Structure 1
Amino acid sequence: MNKLQFLGTGAADFAKLRAANIPDRLDADARRSSAALLHGHMLIDCGPHTLDCLRILGIAQECITDLFITHLHSDHFDPENVRTLAKNRPGLRIFVSDAAMMPEIPGAVVIPMEKYRSYTVADGVTVTAVDANHDADFAPQHYLFDFDGKKLLYALDGAWFINKSYNFLKGCGLSVLVIDATCGDYEGDFRMAEHNSIPMIRLMLPSLRTVGIVNDNTKIVLSHLAPSLHDTHENTVNNAARDGLSVAYDGMEMEF
């Protein structure tokens, strides 16, 4: 089985005070900056809280072999934390958009990714970057991971799927879709061209099923939730369950 663990699941308005008050534990209602871990060694994003999350979960930085940067917004890419990670794991591979203006990261191997091209990460594991509907100045991309036919799309940050990405993903039959849900269960948010709300996701899912991007077996998980734009975690979970959606929380593990 493949393992995905969410380290942080918050947006840029992460609850700084609440997280500061619980420095040694994770809490679903004190979401830290979004990051995730695949198979215990492939890290997606490294923001201001990521190294703390690894520490709290007892995961040594030396275990991280690869880092995948979704974009360069500060809640997803903290240069000092990335430098610390690379110092503790010499040879760390950093996958990032070929449009990204990366700072120097001593000891790391930076791999600029051409979108829609498959890269081998390990035996039986490939990754492909696709366009994300987010601020283009920060080199955004979503990641399609393929683990011997089990496919996971990590789609943070972003809103409606861009045409080229949508067409590329048709028929892929995702095992897991991790999708941006920055905004809560309401309409009319001004962020609709860079982040999803839950009503936007409800509108998209039938079309994603029609073209075979997701199916009845796909696990659909909401992440990147802005604490200021959502209800409590418990209420969000209960509401999302009516639509067959799961809600990630800091420290959550899942297999696929």
Structure 2
Amino acid sequence: MARSKPSKKAQAKAPRQFRPVRWLLRWAFRIGVVALSLGLIWISWFAVFNPGSTPYMRDERKRLGAVDYQWVSMADIAPVMARSAVAAEDANFCAHWGFDMAAIRLALENGGARGASTISQQVVKNLFLWQGRSWTRKALEAGITPIVETLWSKRRILEVYLNIAEFDQGVFGVDAAAHHYFGVTPAKLSATQAARLAAILPNPKERSASKPSNFVRTRSNSIRDGAATIDRDGRAACFQQ
């Protein structure tokens, strides 16, 4: 006599077989989605709200006891300061999407002797990550930079950069730097002063804007010319109003 097949109700009540690999993949996907969503919210937050500090600032505050830092809006920074920073650190700032491939190729051809980090990459490193040259940090930087470029305007990226860059030991941001070196507000910076502030980057602890070495003088003269050039040829259009 043939066996009767179990009813559909009985089949529905049968326990599902536990598959650990599928379970792990499912939860890994869910955790990944949550982590990505939180990361996007975190990055988007700073597109609107100004950072109170950065991880490096907090480390320096612990080490030194205090740091000089005061946020200032882009509207209160001399336009020549913004142009000088771009001329010094990332002349193709308005043209790239976070990575300057031409600069990267040149750096590779020179054996890595010169840096190729864009202003966008430096903002990501200083605001969201930590100092150092580990592959983990580089990988995170490479992943976050295009997101910042997508969610933030170029003007906002440069505004954050100018406000969190280190200009001397314990001196962060262009407001503190302008007062520290020249006794003026950032809105009153001259072309020469702006070029000298840009010239001490990215080694502000070894250079001085108010007592420039021959290297800083030469570099600042080049930056001043570069700032005027990118103003004329339109390479400053993405952050100037």
Q: TM-score range by the shorter chain?
A: under 0.3
Bigger strand share: 1
With a CA cutoff of 8 Å and minimum separation of 6, indicate the structure with the bigger relative contact order.
2
> TM-score, normalised on structure 2?
0.25
Higher helix share: 2
